[in-house]
Amino acid sequence: MADNNTYDAIVVGSGISGGWAAKELCEKGLKVLMLERGGPYEHLKDYKTATKDPWEFTHRGATTAQQKKDYPVIHRGWAAYDRIMDAWVNEIDSPYTEIKPFTWWRVYRMGGRSILWGRQSYRWSDTDFEANAKDGHGIDWPIRYNDIAPWYDHVEKFAGISGSLEGLPQLPDGKFMPPIPLNMVEKDVAEKIKNFYKGQRHLINSRTANITEPLSERTNCQFRNRCWEGCPFGGYFSTQSSTLPAAMKTNNLTVRPLSIVTKILYDKDKKKATGVEVLDASDNKTYEFNSKIVFVCASALNSTWLLFNSATDVFPEGLGSNSGELGHNVMDHHYNLGVSGEIDGYTDIQEQGRRPCGFYIPRFANFTGDSKKRDFVRGFGYQGSASRQNWGREIAELNVGGEFKDALCEPGNWRIGATGFGEILPYHENKIYLDKNRKDKWGLPVLAMDAEIKDNEMKMRVAIKEELKEMLDAAGVKNLSTYDSGHAIGHGIHEMGTARMGNDPKTSVLNKHNQVWDAMNVFVTDGACMASASCVNPSLTYMAFTARAADHAVNELKKQNL
């Protein structure tokens, strides 16, 4: 296939973006080398806990002391769960520096975070693409919705996104499979919200990358809600279930695990990349691989780490640093806050099956029809669900014994709650950079994170809580309780930015086709490319950007422009 370590294309990373790059490039006939820094993780075979029963787990969810010691970052949130601890990066081997608190959830393993992602899949609209130009934060996006809409179509059809057609301008409809249903309580709350706000606000089905009809070799979602352990049915989109098998089928793909890409090799005369340098994580030896094009899909911050480390003899701050924007404008979605409460009635129904999702309330603030004066720009959405309480609830006047047991086995009241997801603005001063004084296990410099949410986000958080309280109250939900646990950047696991796209090489790292201005055969298509954050979950947009860039790359190769 490829002699002397030479390929048509190299893809750095095997997560959602890397998987898409490999699939698209392979299907277009290129010989592709996919490099993954972590070890293998095979579809089905390596989903070791996926079919175990709850009682087969010694600590029924808890993690061990050694894990607590090894994974301090993961223990800041909800991801420290005995079944999935093998997924997370070893934090002692791969540290990072927090100038300000920053939660970085990493998976260094084949498939990256595509196994563990939240699967919520929403399109951006022109409200998002025009936001920077309109309110002056960040720089204007070099594209609009029409540029990416066909690519949303393309990736949705292959990935399998279930959702309802709503005709909402802020949340464009896509090529959906039938939605995962709302339960009766959610439907009624949706109706009450619609009436109360005269059709300006909507509670809709989650749009999720869990399939509701068979797709290719994959079986539809079986409603186990254990996606994180890997799905034995291929019920949701991951590299393993979807893009990797498609790429392998072409016989054009070579996968090399345990390959830490340390730099992009750069020919300063041709102003092009010639390949990459790899440090083999198992034997610590260095290898070179050559290619016509390089797709950088190492996850937002690691993609920028790779640029920092590349072509430093020509650009002291790294490939793409000419603009002064490389590493800047790091964003995320701020969350960790919400409201929940009780709802009377519906005692004659229960749910069957465990959904891997719930409902979504699309953005309404600072959008057409929003009647309120806001003291912040941009907007937010909510994700939530309603369900009946079970054995964990308190039973008044019953403490111990048979009646207590019987009462716990009966269903309790219905509860409904949701969590806000807010847009974070692109601030130049929110940045990451190489901490040259600190090295990881392989002697490579680590990233330093210096970023925080600011006034606009703090004001938005107040509105997120107040608006949700008002909506649930209007829908008849009682005993509302609000929580707000604060937000460190990265905690939303939607870290993005640091190598933004733009129209001008003076203010951006990438052009409108995700090409590095200073090396047009290098494409960065993961979250690093983002010029703003919107408030919707980002992975679907990375898929679309990646497929679009792959198409452009192959066309340019044909024209011999790269």
Partner 1 sequence: MERRELLKMVAVATGGVVIGGEFFLAGCKSKDAEVAGTAFSSDNIALLDEVAETIIPKTATAGAKEAEVGKFMTVMVNDCYEEADQKTFHEGMKKLDEACNKMHGHSFMKAEPAHRKELLTSLDKEAKEYMKNKKKEDPNHYFLMMKQLTLLGYFTSKPGLEQNFNYQPVPAKYDGAIPYKKGDKLFV
Where on the chain is the footprint of partner 1 (CB under 8 A)?
Answer: 51, 53-55, 58-69, 71, 75, 78, 80-81, 180-187, 222-225, 347-355, 388-395, 399-402, 404-406, 408-411
Query: Cα(103)–Cα(332) distance, rounded to whole angstroms?
Result: 11
Give least dist CB 516 to partner 1, A: 40
Span between the terminal Cα atoms of the chain, in Å:
22
| Nearer Cβ to partner 1 (58/560) | 58
> Identity (one letter) of the amino acid at 480?
L
Quote the tokens at residue 67.
Answer: 């894990």
| CB-CB contact of 122 with 144 (8 Å) | no
Query: Cα(13)–Cα(74) distance, rounded to whole angstroms?
Result: 21
Give least dist CB 539 to partner 1, A: 20
Give least dist CB 146 to partner 1, A: 35
Phi and psi at residue 261, to the nearest 5°: -80, 115
Query: Cα(73)–Cα(75) distance, rounded to whole angstroms?
Result: 5
| CB-CB contact of 305 with 298 (8 Å) | yes
Quote the tokens at residue 247.
Answer: 């790429």
| Nearer Cβ to partner 1 (179/426) | 179
Which residue, among 494, 493, 422, has the nearest Cα to 77 in the 3D structure? 493
Give least dist CB 397 to partner 1, A: 10
CA of 24: how far to CAs of 116, 175, 248, 325, 509, in Å?
22, 19, 11, 29, 23
CA of 438: how far to CAs of 253, 277, 298, 300, 323, in Å?
35, 21, 21, 20, 26
Give least dist CB 156 to partner 1, A: 21
Give least dist CB 464 to partner 1, A: 20
Query: Cα(185)–Cα(362) distance, rounded to whole angstroms?
Result: 19
| Nearer Cβ to partner 1 (342/435) | 342
| Nearer Cβ to partner 1 (289/382) | 382
| Nearer Cβ to partner 1 (196/223) | 223
489: Cβ contacts below 8 Å, ≥ 6 apart: 100, 101, 102, 103, 330, 331, 332, 424, 430, 449, 451, 452, 453, 495
| Nearer Cβ to partner 1 (313/397) | 397
Query: Cα(332)–Cα(488) distance, rounded to whole angstroms?
Result: 9
Give least dist CB 8 to partner 1, A: 42
Give least dist CB 404 to partner 1, A: 7
Rounded to the nearest 10 degrees, how much is the dihedral formed by the CA atoms of 146, 162, 26, 550? Answer: 20
CA of 182: how far to CAs of 108, 186, 324, 384, 462, in Å?
35, 6, 47, 11, 28
Quote the tokens at residue 133.
Answer: 């130009």
| CB-CB contact of 325 with 308 (8 Å) | no
| Nearer Cβ to partner 1 (198/400) | 400
Stated as kind and residue range, the H or E segment containing 70 is helix 65-70
Give least dist CB 188 to partner 1, A: 11
| Nearer Cβ to partner 1 (54/443) | 54
3-state secondary structure of 432: strand
Helix 184-196 / helix 455-474 crossing angle, nearest 10 deg: 110
Give least dist CB 360 to partner 1, A: 16
Give least dist CB 239 to partner 1, A: 23
| Nearer Cβ to partner 1 (79/471) | 79
| Nearer Cβ to partner 1 (444/480) | 480
Give least dist CB 72 to partner 1, A: 10
| Nearer Cβ to partner 1 (60/373) | 60
| Nearer Cβ to partner 1 (403/455) | 403
In the block, residue with structure tokens 């494409």: 523
